[in-house]
Chains A and B, each alone.
Chain A
Amino acid sequence: MRGRLLALQAFWSYDRMQSLGLLFALDPCLKGANPDPARYREALLRHMGFFNTNPIMAGYAAGALAGLEEELARRSGPGRAELEDKVERTRRSLGSALAAIGDTFFWGTLRPAAAAVAGLAGLLAWRAAGAGWAAAAAACAYLAAFNAPAVGTRARAVSVGRAAGDRLVEELAAMRWHERTRWTARAGLLACAAACAVAIASAPWPSRGPAWEAGTLAACAALRAFVSAPAAYAALAAAGCAVAAVS
């Protein structure tokens, strides 16, 4: 299931989002738990509805749903319809809960933190070993900084989800994702500050001196407070053209 979850978004569509990807991941489990073809068909159709979450956190939902499906396959009689409802409710509620955590941590915090670490690694490699090593150091540092927590989460998610079942939301709350997010952001800020200090002190590109570089950073930070990054770049280009035309 872990391997198949890597293709969670391969079937992404506007109307069902990741539902087909989740079904692809759950399929071996559904097939194993339901030797009766009619039950297996029912199980397949049960997961055709909307599903969307953060792809790195999806293992928690897949594990919990696999556990519930196995329980459902063993159940017959009056409790079965209730359990079917529970599967549907769990799928819907876990999708949004996991997305809220994963999008904030992995996309909103870990990606910029990894970028800061990559910038610092690239600058240090440039100073220590020359320009040739800077590119490789930055790329490797980015991949390592992002994937260390992401691979760890993916490795544990399915088994944690399966063990927790419908108590998964409580389990996730106990993992203190809010604290992890805050400390990751602080570490990223530290790396960003160190990278800026290294670049201001000895910029590896043609520079007009530390004061000029620090002033440019301050101007960019002020500009960035009001507009998005691409818009800020366009504004810098327009300002540069205006200054060049005047001077």
Chain B
Amino acid sequence: MSWHAASLPALSALTALVDLDATHLVHSMASRPIVLGPLLGAVCGDPLSGAAFGAAAEALSLDRSPTGAALPLNGGVAAACAVLLHVSPAAVPAAAALPAGLALGVGHRAVEGLVRSRRSALAEDARRQAEGGSVSWGRLLARGLGTHLAASAAFVYISVAVLAPALAWAWGAAPEAVREGLGRALAAAPWLGAASVARLLWRRAR
């Protein structure tokens, strides 16, 4: 009960708060999975799993840049969801938590797209205020950030709360070959990550 009533809401809010760094504020890269994963892992008492999920999500989410209107896989949300699924009372195994986290990182694009669409109204409000001679930035900023914060926190909370027991059950019911296959993919993730990073850098190094 305390997981769903206290820990998960707090961790979802922390994830959403740090995720503001991804596009909205600062861009210090605190929201990158390789930072957010270990941070959440440490808060949950399992920094090593957090680092493993974070490193894998980092390397797998570097393909596309967050330029212009592009909405790439949200690596921070992916790593956070994988960590939370793994440390939840359902204890989703790492081999299932990582692909589920990556899928949720892709799913978060829909939330981000919706929030961005709604933010056009902010620009109209700002224009009206500017025509009146001054803009109240504090309220606009609170609306812009607050909507994203609430939407991301709700997405992480609902996703983890619903998926954790479902995945734990599905893992138990899955054929041995599927479990072993996902385990092999997880074992190869560091190498896939290294290959991805090297490929991205090779193109720029020549």
Contacts and interface: CB of A to CB of B under 8 A. Distances in A.
Interface of A: 6-7, 9-17, 19-20, 23-24, 27, 37, 40-41, 44-45, 48, 52, 54-56, 99, 103-104, 107-109, 111-116, 118-119, 122, 131-132, 134-136, 138-139, 142-143, 146-147, 150, 181-182, 184-186, 188-189, 192-193, 195-196, 199, 205, 213, 216-217, 219-221, 223-225, 228-230, 232-234, 236-245
A143 B185 contact: no
A230 B62 contact: no
Most buried by B among A112, A192, A220: A112
B26 A6 contact: yes
Interface in B111-166: 116-117, 119-120, 122-123, 126-127, 130-131, 133, 135, 137, 140-141, 144-145
A55 B25 CA distance: 10
B165 to A, nearest CB: 22
Contacts of B141: 7, 10-11, 24
Given A14-B120, A216-B191, A240 B130 contact: no
24 contacts: A14-B117, A23-B130, A24-B141, A37-B133, A48-B130, A109-B201, A111-B62, A115-B197, A116-B201, A122-B51, A132-B48, A135-B42, A136-B38, A138-B34, A139-B35, A182-B205, A189-B201, A220-B188, A220-B191, A223-B195, A230-B60, A244-B176, A244-B178, A244-B184
Contacts of B60: 229-230, 233
B29 A114 contact: yes
Interface string B177-204: 1101111110111111111111111111
Contact of B201 (A14, A188, A245): A188
A243 B181 contact: yes
Contact of A13 (B51, B61, B123, B188): B123
Main secondary structure of the interface of A (DSSP, over half): helix
Contact of A9 (B23, B42, B123): B23
A56 B42 CA distance: 29
Q: Which 10 A-B pairs have the closest CB atoms?
A: A241-B181, A240-B181, A240-B184, A135-B51, A185-B204, A135-B38, A107-B65, A244-B180, A237-B185, A245-B177
Nearest to B69: A14
Contacts of A9: 23-25
B168 interface: no
Interface in B36-90: 37-39, 41-42, 47-48, 50-51, 54-55, 58-63, 65-69, 73
Given A132-B48, A192-B197, 12 more contacts: A13-B122, A14-B117, A24-B141, A104-B204, A118-B58, A119-B193, A199-B194, A233-B99, A236-B185, A237-B182, A240-B188, A241-B178
Contact of A118 (B34, B50, B185): B34
Contact of B102 (A114, A188, A217, A233): A233
Nearest to A52: B68
Nearest to B38: A135
Interface of B: 23-30, 32, 34-35, 37-39, 41-42, 47-48, 50-51, 54-55, 58-63, 65-69, 73, 99, 102, 106, 116-117, 119-120, 122-123, 126-127, 130-131, 133, 135, 137, 140-141, 144-145, 175-178, 180-185, 187-206
